[in-house]
Amino acid sequence: MNTNLSLGGIITQGIKLGILNIISIFIATILWALTIWIPYLNVGTTIGLLSMPIGISKGNIMSPTEIFNPKYRQYMGEYFILIGLKAQGLIPAMLFVVVPYIILNLAWSQSTYLLLDKGLNPAEALTLSNKITYGHKGKIFFGKLILTILSFGLLYPFFMMGANAFIYKSLSSEIE
């Protein structure tokens, strides 16, 4: 089990990485919002924006225009399959009064990054995400909750992008 992931690490690294990349994340988010109404391009920019924590986790300061990279559109099918599979599991989980939904959502929280970074198929990404988050869900939940409270919602996107980068870096090291 990876010992690099801790509640304090999620909070401090989430803030540090979020602030370090605040301009890139902000501009990329604005560019994404400007393209959300353009069919086909919007899927690529959405996947590009969601992939920013992968680059951040590797120590890169991401260019905001990276979300336009055509490579993200090649993942369109796999991304939609992944979202569909997650929805098929999460919707029934909500019927059991939210807690199973939260736990399952945390278990699958790394699946998008694994799909995009490691080239796994959607089912493999969900399975591996569940495996690498096992034993860490409490830390991830409380780390993100504390960051949400600390940010008062204003810096939420930046802190979460930083936290997701740190979480992915810590957990993906288990599969290297």
pLDDT, tens only, 24-73: 999 999 999 999 999 999 999 999 999 999 999 999 888 999 999 999 99
In whole angstroms, give the CA distance from residue 32 to residue 154.
18
DSSP three-state, residue 47:
helix
Q: Which amino acid is at 88?
A: Q
Q: Average pLDDT of 70-99?
A: 94
pTM value?
0.90
Residue 19 burial by Cβ neighbours in a 10 Å radius (0-12, 13-18, 19+): middle
8 Å CB contact between 31 and 67: yes
In whole angstroms, give the CA distance from residue 172 to residue 158.
21
**Residue 165: is its pLDDT beyond 50?**
yes
* Torsion angle defined by CA atoms of residues 88, 174, 17 and 164, in that order, rounded to the nearest 10 degrees: 10
**141's tokens:** 């939940």
**What local confidence, expressed as pLDDT, does residue 62 receive?**
85
**What local confidence, expressed as pLDDT, does residue 4 receive?**
81
pLDDT, tens only, 4-27: 899 999 999 999 999 999 999 999
Mean pLDDT computed over every residue of the chain: 92
Helix axes 7-20, 137-151, angle to 10 degrees: 50
Least confident window among 13-22, 41-50, 90-99, 147-156: 147-156
8 Å CB contact between 47 and 76: yes
pLDDT, tens only, 128-144: 999 999 999 999 999 99
**Residue 1: is its pLDDT beyond 80?**
no
**What local confidence, expressed as pLDDT, does residue 174 receive?**
72
8 Å CB contact between 82 and 47: no
**Residue 3: is its pLDDT beyond 70?**
no
In whole angstroms, give the CA distance from residue 1 to residue 88.
29
Q: Average pLDDT of 166-172?
A: 93
Residue 176: band (very low, low, confident or very high) from pLDDT cuts 50, 70, 90: low
**What local confidence, expressed as pLDDT, does residue 156 receive?**
83
In whole angstroms, give the CA distance from residue 137 to residue 125.
17
In whole angstroms, give the CA distance from residue 17 to residue 74.
28
